[in-house]
Amino acid sequence: MATKQVYFFGDGKAEGNAKMKELLGGKGANLAEMSRLGITVPAGFTITTEVCTYFMKTGGKYPEGLKQEVETALKKVEKIMEARFGDARNPLLFSVRSGARASMPGMMETVLNIGLNSTTIPGLITKAGNKRFVYDAYRRLIMMYSDVVMEKAVGIEPKEGMGIRAQLEHEMQKMKDAKGVKFDLELDADDLKKLVQIFKKKIKQVLKKDFPDDPGEQLWGAISAVFRSWNGKRAKAYRKIENIPDDWGTAVNVQAMVFGNLGQNSATGVAFTRDPATGENKFYGEFLVNAQGEDVVAGIRTPQAINEVSKTDASKHLPSLEELMPELYKQLAKIRTKLEKHYRDMQDIEFTIQDGKLFMLQTRVGKRNGMAAVRMAVEMCKEGLISKEEAILRVKPEQLDELLHPMLDPKDEAKAEKLAGGLPAGPGGAMGQIVFTADDAEAQAKQGKKVILVRNETSPEDVHGMKAAQAILTAMGGMTSHAALVARGWGKCCIVGCGALNINAAKKVLSVNGKRLREGDWISLNGTKGVVYKDKIGLLPADPGKNVYYKELMTWADKLRKLGIRTNADTPDDAKAARNFGAEGIGLCRTEHMFFGPDRITAMRQMILADDEAGRKKALKKLLPLQRKDFIGIFKVMDGLPVTIRTLDPPLHEFLPNDEVSQREMAKQMGVSVEAIQAKVQSLHEANPMLGHRGCRLGITYPEITAMQVQAIIEAACHVAKQGVKVHPEIMIPLVGTKQELENQRNVAVETAEKVMQKAGVRVKYLVGTMIEIPRAALTADQVAEVAEFFSFGTNDLTQMTFGYSRDDAVKFLPDYLSKKILPAEPFQTLDQEGVGQLVDMGIQRGRATRKDLKVGICGEHGGDPKSIDFCHRVGMNYVSCSPFRVPIARLAAAHAATR
Ligand code: ADP
Ligand code: MG
Ligand code: MG
């Protein structure tokens, strides 16, 4: 490895910059950038991600020349900081910090105060003039180091609550109890001095190793441990959830320590340049006086607000940073403006004040929920910070999901019993059954239960359970705690800092304001207000139309996008919901359910049981007015917009009961013998119904079914047209594989439609087209297009038949295919562009070679998937069609596709 492995930063200079995230990780790249911007950061250096990859590949070896480069950079830092690592009189301490390309909050390790030992402790005491501070720093080093380097990095997996860190915390608690005090700060220098001796003994006893006294050993131990933490259990779990590649590796930042725990003139905090929960343009943050960085995130003490607007119920009685240290607050506010202007996005920053001097320790693009993302994007565009295109790209289509998320029904909420209040860390409403551990959350969610994870605080070890839960509730922590950060990133309902909770996780009970609740009890959360309620509260769908920022962003998106957005809707209600979400038509109206209603199924069964055409026609006649009514309802809602209706698709046996009890019941109802019914069920039985007598094949053997459906459609159309409704029916024939099949069905349709219109004395414009869902139809699309007036790619069946995977049976092997990386993504969710996509692309080209202006859309599950929508845009479709709730997501995804 001949390339540079170590990049220095500090003193207004840096060898790296913000663009070098792949090599330096996000943290390292941004520390370099801040240093270049003239923002004060403690000097340090970054060891590249390439070293990490090398370290992983070689099972823990370092590339040649690394030690030398580290040595050189370290000398530079010593010069700037005017102190020396390991020096007896003027010691310099380091933090060793992880930092991957993409932020993985708290997933990997950081060790602070490296370099404290028997030699440097006396020196630092003299230098700082504060013995308590030094022993506090030392006990922190021991706690972090033994946990990260001596336990986790070696692969020890202690039982819950038995980790070395927990055991040391227990020792500390014992000391506080013995002394009769509550807070860490109440332990004095001598207590802490005694405590470190206890710690060391405990470490020797549990881990069978001495805590290292050599600063060099400490430094390299920490560096290796950080590299190893890339493959730690929770980092791996997080990467899987967030789709971060395993081979990226992390960088390591070695940085001079600054101390927020030097006394009342020192502090440490975390802030966001805008409110990450609402997106509002206000500086938002928390800090602790006389503390080290990790205290804020860990939620050990209730943090104070940096300014008036950041105050919460929990912090309103405490003075803000602005009140306590007005000069420093002003400096911080200036840095806020500078960073936002420079990065042109909301930043999440860490700072530390050492004895009246402000240092920045981190900046990164802040995580935000969907609501906040939308507001920030729109406001930043209006402020001239970003363009409209950028604003659109700032919001991930999936994030809109949160705006469409349910909230507690206010009527029920008003009557519900309030248990407690906390901080509103993740908006929206949720209800679920209490669980106390992440593993329980995951296990019970797998059984289909709705659970709410209730913890004192969450740690990165809990992410799998947090993901599985409906919502997260913690007793401790502030708006920048781990739980809040993670929930916000996922747009999950979350309440933190709910101090009234008294949790006994081991016994799986909690008490809150005099009430006892146990695992499995129902609670409901209002994450927008931060209120916890007893029992279930109904959820209401969201109403994004009331959000002015959302509305504005969507008008920008709609202008930009080239794809039309339709919806898959079978009922007037769904159609109405979709129209409210911005749907521009119906791309797929399935007619199956129209045969299932209690008033219809008997007629349908009579039709199936009939021995001849006359019998079938008689039964179909009963269904006709019912279907016509359905279509009238849908046409009225979709006034002015196209409605694609698919004729009957599933095999007939699906309409008949399979068990004997229902067969008897049916026989009685219909006045026929059970045997007759059983015989029919038998005769309709198919070895492989998916590839059997269904789709247009039904309409070809029983043309009267297609005729009845077309009659209902066109009669409904004529009926509403007379009332002034603008109606555009599109009749879609499913499962066509040859031009002749479509021709056959088209003839039935046209003949029927003509008759209906003549009789009604009105003409409506209608189209007859087909679904392209059988590979042969895609291959012969040029011929099919001679008959079809439009194509709609039914990519569910097309995927099924191209892969040869039955969708109903694929659950048995698809999970393995995904985990073994045989497939990159679930092909029924994200269109397989490489394979199935070829058929789609070819189908469009061949179809349009015959019919230049052939209208083409997609109506599979994929029509609501952003990646697939991007593909649909590229192959030149006219529209995508998806379920009503995905319509906004599809609109934005289509705009993204057009912007790229
Ligand atoms: P994470 O990625 O989990 O946030 P960090 O590397 O940012 O981990 O460090 C954890 C905490 O330690 C942060 O609060 C950070 O501000 C603090 N910290 C890291 N390096 C230093 C340093 N050189 N001086 C003072 N505090 C530090
Ligand atoms: Mg950090
Ligand atoms: Mg199909």
Residue of 712, 705, 731 whose CA lies nearest to 617: 705
Pocket test for ligand 1, best of 145, 350, 360, 485 (most atoms within 8 A of CB): 350
d(CA 413, CA 185) in angstroms, rounded, equals 41
pLDDT band at 766 (very low <50, low <70, confident <90, very high): very high
Which ligand 1 atom is at minimum distance from the Cα of 44? 23
Flag whether pLDDT at 301 surpasses 90: no
Average pLDDT over residues 152-167: 90
Specify the pairing of strand 13-14 against strand 250-256: unpaired
Q: What angle do CA 64, 70, 75 make, to 5 degrees?
A: 145
Question: Using CA atoms, how far apart are residues 880 and 397, in angstroms rounded to an integer?
Answer: 15
Report the separation in Å between the CA atom of 627 and the middle of ligand 3, taken as the mean of its atom positions: 21
Tell me the backbone φ, ψ of residue 10, rounded to 5 degrees.
145, 160
Both structure tokens of 383: 């402020």
Across the chain, what does the average pLDDT equal? Answer: 93
797 pLDDT more than 80: yes
Among all bound ligands, the one having the nearest atom to the CA of 296 is 1
Helix H segments across 480-561?
A: 482-490, 548-560
Active site residue 482: yes
Bridge partners (DSSP) listed for residue 642: 728
Q: How far is CA 435 from CA 197, 535, 730, 738, in A?
A: 38, 14, 50, 55
300 pLDDT tier (thresholds 50, 70, 90): low
pLDDT at 655: 87
**Ligand 2: centre distance to CA 153 (Å):** 20
pLDDT band of 404, cuts 50, 70, 90: confident
Strands 728-733 and 642-646: parallel
Question: How far is 98 from 108, CA to CA, in rounded Å?
Answer: 6
Contact 803, 834 (CB under 8 A): no
Taking the CA of 255 as reference, the closest ligand is: 1
Q: Check whether 297 has a pLDDT greater than 80.
A: no
When pLDDT is averaged across residues 486-513 and rounded to a whole number, the result is 89
Tell me if residue 806 falls in helix, strand or coil: coil
Q: How far apart are CA 381 and CA 549, in angstroms?
A: 11
How many Å lie between the centroid of ligand 3 and the Cα of residue 855? 19
Residue type, 578: A
The rounded distance, in Å, linking the Cα atoms of 500 and 422 is: 9
Mean pLDDT for 330-355 is 97
Query: pLDDT band for position 299 (50/70/90)?
Result: low
13's tokens: 């200079």
Distance 35 CA to ligand 2 centre (A): 17
What is the predicted pLDDT for the residue at 2? 56
Position 312 scores a pLDDT of 82
578, 595 in Cβ contact below 8 A? Answer: no
For residue 523, the model assigns a pLDDT of 97
Residue 75's SS3 state is: helix
- Residue 106 above 80 pLDDT? no
Contacts of 459 (CB under 8 A, 6+ apart): 106, 482
pLDDT band at 784 (very low <50, low <70, confident <90, very high): very high
| Catalytic residue, candidates 52, 381, 859, 872 | 859
Nearest CA to ligand 1 atom 17: 293
What span, in angstroms and rounded, lies between the C-alpha atoms of 344 and 383?
Answer: 11
Task: Determine the atom of ligand 1 nearest the C-alpha atom of 99.
Answer: 2
- Looking at residue 477, its pLDDT comes to 82
pLDDT tens digits, 827-859: 998 999 999 999 999 999 999 999 999 999 999
The average pLDDT across 264-269 equals 95
Q: What is the DSSP string of 645-703?
A: EEPP-S-GGGGS--SHHHHHHHHHHHTS-HHHHHHHHHHH--S-GGGSS-THHHHHH-H
Report pLDDT digits (tens) over 176-205: 999 999 888 899 999 999 999 999 999 999
Torsion of CA 162, 165, 167, 170, to 10 degrees: -130
Contacts of 28 (CB under 8 A, 6+ apart): 7, 9, 16, 20, 46, 99, 251, 253
C-alpha distance from residue 252 to each of 26, 198, 219, 362 (Å) = 11, 31, 11, 14
The tokens of 731 are what?
């009749």
pLDDT, tens digit (0-9, with 9 covering 90-100), for 708-765: 999 999 999 999 999 999 999 999 999 999 999 999 999 999 999 999 999 999 999 9
**Is the pLDDT confidence value at 487 over 90?**
no
Distance 58 CA to ligand 1 centre (A): 28
Answer whether 757's CB lies under 8 Å from 763's CB. yes
If you ran DSSP here, which 8-state letter would residue 336 be given?
H
Please answer whether residues 601 and 619 qualify as being in contact, where contact means their C-beta atoms are separated by less than 8 angstroms.
no
Q: What is the pLDDT, as a whole number, of residue 662?
A: 83
Nearest CA to ligand 1 atom 13: 293
d(CA 781, CA 856): 12
The alpha carbon dihedral of 796, 798, 801, 804 has a sign of: negative
Read off the pTM: 0.82
| Burial environment of residue 534 by CB neighbours within 10 A (0 to 12, 13 to 18, 19 or more) | middle
- Given a contact cutoff of 8 angstroms between Cβ atoms, the answer to whether 725 and 636 are in contact is yes
H or E segment and range at residue 88:
none
What is the mean predicted confidence (pLDDT) over 542-571? 93
- The pLDDT of residue 585 is 98
Which pLDDT does position 556 carry in this prediction?
Answer: 98
**Residues with Cβ < 8 Å from 801, sequence gap 6 or more?**
773, 774, 775
Percent of the chain beyond pLDDT 70?
99
How confident is the model at residue 489, as a pLDDT?
67
pLDDT in tens, 117-146: 999 999 999 999 999 999 999 999 999 999
Check pLDDT > 90 for residue 232.
Answer: no
The pLDDT-based confidence of 598 (bands split at 50, 70, 90) is confident
How far is the centre of ligand 1, averaged over its atoms, from the C-alpha of 24 (Å)?
16
Q: CA–CA separation, 27 vs 101, rounded Å? A: 8
Cα 292 to averaged position of ligand 1 atoms, centre (Å): 8
Interatomic CA distance for residues 221 and 551, integer angstroms:
53
User: Does 106 sit in the ligand 1 pocket, CB within 6 Å?
Assistant: yes
Query: For ligand 1, atom 20, which residue shows the shortest CA distance?
Result: 95
221, exposed or middle or buried, with CB in 10 Å at 0-12, 13-18, 19+? buried
- Give the pLDDT mean for 302-310: 93
Which residue has the CA at smallest separation from atom 16 of ligand 1?
A: 293
749 contact partners, CB below 8 Å, separation of at least 6: 706, 710, 731, 733, 768
> Does residue 361 have its Cβ closer than 6 Å to ligand 1?
yes
- Residues 6 or more apart from 229 whose CB is under 8 A from it? 98, 107, 108, 109, 148, 152, 153, 235, 250
Q: Determine if ligand 1 sits within 6 Å of the CB of residue 294.
A: yes
pLDDT classification of 292: cutoffs 50, 70, 90 = confident
- Exposure pattern of 708-741 as b/e (b: 16+ CB <10 Å)? bbbbbbbbbbbbbbeeebebbbbbbbbbbbebeb
DSSP string across 51-68? HHHHHHHTTS-PPTTHHH
**Distance, CA of 205 to CA of 702 (rounded, Å):** 82
Res. 272: pLDDT tops 90: yes
Query: In 808-886, where does DSSP find H-type helix?
Result: 814-819, 836-850, 866-874
* Active-site residue, from 405, 482, 862, 896: 482
Q: Is 258 exposed, middle or buried (0-12, 13-18, 19+ CB in 10 A)?
A: buried
In eight-state DSSP terms, residue 423 is: E
Q: Greatest CA separation found in the chain?
A: 106
Compute the distance between CA of residue 711 and CA of residue 626 in angstroms, rounded to an integer: 12
Q: Quick: pLDDT tens for 32-75.
A: 999 999 999 999 999 999 999 999 999 999 999 999 999 999 99
Does residue 533 register a pLDDT over 90?
yes
Phi, psi dihedrals of residue 408, rounded to the nearest 5°? -65, 140
Count of CB atoms within 10 A of residue 863's CB? Answer: 31
Mutate to test the pocket of ligand 1, among 351, 361, 481 (most ligand atoms within 8 A of CB): 361
- Which tokens belong to 98? 């992880």
C-beta of residue 425 within 8 angstroms of C-beta of residue 484: yes
Q: Which two tokens stand for residue 453?
A: 């994870």
Q: Give the integer Cα–Cα distance in Å for 856 and 835.
A: 19
In the numeric block, the tokens 């279509």 are attached to: 631
The ligand placed nearest to the CA atom of residue 736 is 3
Q: Are 420 and 532 in contact (CB under 8 A)?
A: yes
- CA 154, CA 566: separation in Å to the nearest integer? 55
Q: Report d(CA 481, CA 498) in Å as an integer.
A: 12
Residue 777 has pLDDT above 90, yes or no: yes
Residue 103 has a pLDDT of 80
Residue 41: nearest ligand to its CA? 1
